[in-house]
Amino acid sequence: MIKAQGYAAQNAQSGLAPFTFDRRDPRDHDVVIQILYSGICHSDIHQVRNEWGNSIFPMVPGHEIVGRVTGKGKGVTKFREGDLVGVGCFVDSCRECGSCKEGVEQFCAAGMNVTYNGFERDGKTPTFGGYSDVIVTDENYVLRVPEGIDPAAAAPLLCAGITTYSPLRHWKVSPGQRVGVVGLGGLGHMGVKFAASFGAEVTVISTSARKEADARRLGANQFLVSTDPSAMAKAMGSFDFILDTVSATHDVNALLGLLRRDGTIVLVGAPEKPLPIAAFGLVMGRKTLAGSLIGGIAETQEMLDYCGEKGIASDVEVIPMQQVNEAYDRTVKGDVRYRFVIDMKSLSV
Q: Which of 23, 29, 46, 287 binds ligand NAP (CB under 6 A)?
A: 46
41 touching Zn ion, by CB under 5 A = yes
Applying CB under 6 A, the site for ligand NAP has a residue count of 30
331 touching ligand NAP, by CB under 6 A = yes
Q: What are phi and psi of 323, to 5 degrees?
A: -100, 15
First to last CA, the chain: 23
Greatest CA separation found in the chain?
64
Q: How far is the CB of 333 from Zn ion (least distance, A)?
A: 18
Of residues 159, 211, 166, 220, the one with CA closest to residue 192: 220
45 touching Zn ion, by CB under 5 A = no
219 touching ligand NAP, by CB under 6 A = no
Pick out residues in 139-168 that bind ligand NAP (CB under 6 A).
Answer: 159-160, 163
Q: Which of 35, 36, 43, 154 binds Zn ion (CB under 5 A)?
A: 43
Coil, helix or strand for 197?
helix
| Length of the chain, in residues | 349
Q: How far is the CB of 227 from ligand NAP (least distance, A)?
A: 9
CA–CA separation, 339 and 342 (whole Å): 10
Binding string, 223-262, against ligand NAP, x = CB under 6 A?
----------------------xxxx-x------------
185 touching ligand NAP, by CB under 6 A = yes
Pick out residues in 193-212 that bind ligand NAP (CB under 6 A).
Answer: 206-207, 211
Applying CB under 5 A, the site for Zn ion has a residue count of 8
CA–CA separation, 103 and 227 (whole Å): 40
* Residue 314 DSSP code: -
Which ranges of the chain does DSSP label H, i.e. alpha helix? 42-48, 98-101, 151-154, 160-170, 186-197, 212-218, 229-234, 252-258, 279-283, 297-310, 324-332
Within a 10 A sphere around the Cβ of 101, how many other Cβ atoms? 11
Binding site for ligand NAP (CB under 6 A): 41-43, 46, 159-160, 163, 183-188, 206-207, 211, 245-248, 250, 268-271, 292-294, 331, 334
